[in-house]
Amino acid sequence: MELRRFYIEKSMLNGSHVTINGEEYHHMVKVLRYKNGYSFIACDGSGKDYYCKIINISADEVLAEITDIADNNTEAIIDITLYLGAIKNEKLTIAIQKAIELGVKNIVIFESAHTSEKGINFDRLNKIAVEAAKQCGRAQAPTIGELISFEKVIERRDGELLIMAYEKENSQTLPQLVKLLGKITRLGIIIGSEGGFKKEEADMAQAKGISTFSLGRRILRAETAAIIAAGYIIQELDIL
């Protein structure tokens, strides 16, 4: 039987036992039909995997015994945030799933001059994020927060280096820029929505010290650009 992964709060750990409730309880008991004696992995966001065996199932929670604890080494060394312009839900789903599989730590959705999508279902996106993180064995699932403006994105520094894909950039490619980054621990990658960025937005970002880069001679879909940029950067600066 496949050893499935479930995310818990630290408060659910109690010595040698774990309590599962809420949505993860529903998924475990009502959907997957887990029973006493079944085993699973619990993750509390600390980078540890708790190997557990169910000893009791009640009406609203599961009690399990911790049988082993191991380090989870799937998280990227570099703390990468993907800032992605709002796009249609099915494309957003693909971008989020693949970014999480690649090792992106945080995902922020923003609106800019050329974004037209307003009805972003963040509850749905967070469920997708959790499932993607489980699928690739990560110790924690990124949380996707509320929609913010492009202006807020380029102000969010706090020790984070920001770089931005810009379709009209003709002097610096992503590989060229990555070679200049040196040793960094936090990086934000800004990818626009369909239609890219207005020149005024690119000028605004560059005035804030944000380097822009090209992803080649062809115009890529937003979700493709996000996957390519995140994948290349993690390949070059981290260990996949």
- Total-model pTM: 0.87
- pLDDT value of residue 166: 93
**144 Cβ neighbours under 8 A, 6+ residues apart:** 96, 107, 108, 109, 122, 125, 126, 129
- At CA 95, angle to CA 161 and CA 163, rounded to 5? 15
Residue owning tokens 């796009």: 87
Q: What is the pLDDT of residue 17?
A: 95
- What's the pLDDT tens digit per position in 93-141? 999 999 999 999 999 999 998 887 778 889 899 999 999 999 899 988 8
Q: Which tokens go with 129?
A: 């994020």
From-to residues of CATH 3.40.1280.10 in the chain: 79-237
List, for residues 17-35, the tens digit of each pLDDT value: 999 999 899 999 999 999 9
> How many other C-beta atoms are found inside a 10 Å radius of the C-beta of residue 22?
12
Domain 5-71 annotated CATH 3.40.50.720: no
Q: For 79-237, CATH number?
A: 3.40.1280.10
Residue at token pair 């890529």: 220
Sequence ranges of the chain with CATH classification 2.40.240.20: 5-71
- 240, pLDDT greater than 50: no
Amino acid letter, residue 197: F
Q: What phi and psi values does residue 11 have, to the nearest 5 degrees?
A: -65, -15
DSSP letter, residue 55: E
Residue 173 has pLDDT above 90, yes or no: yes
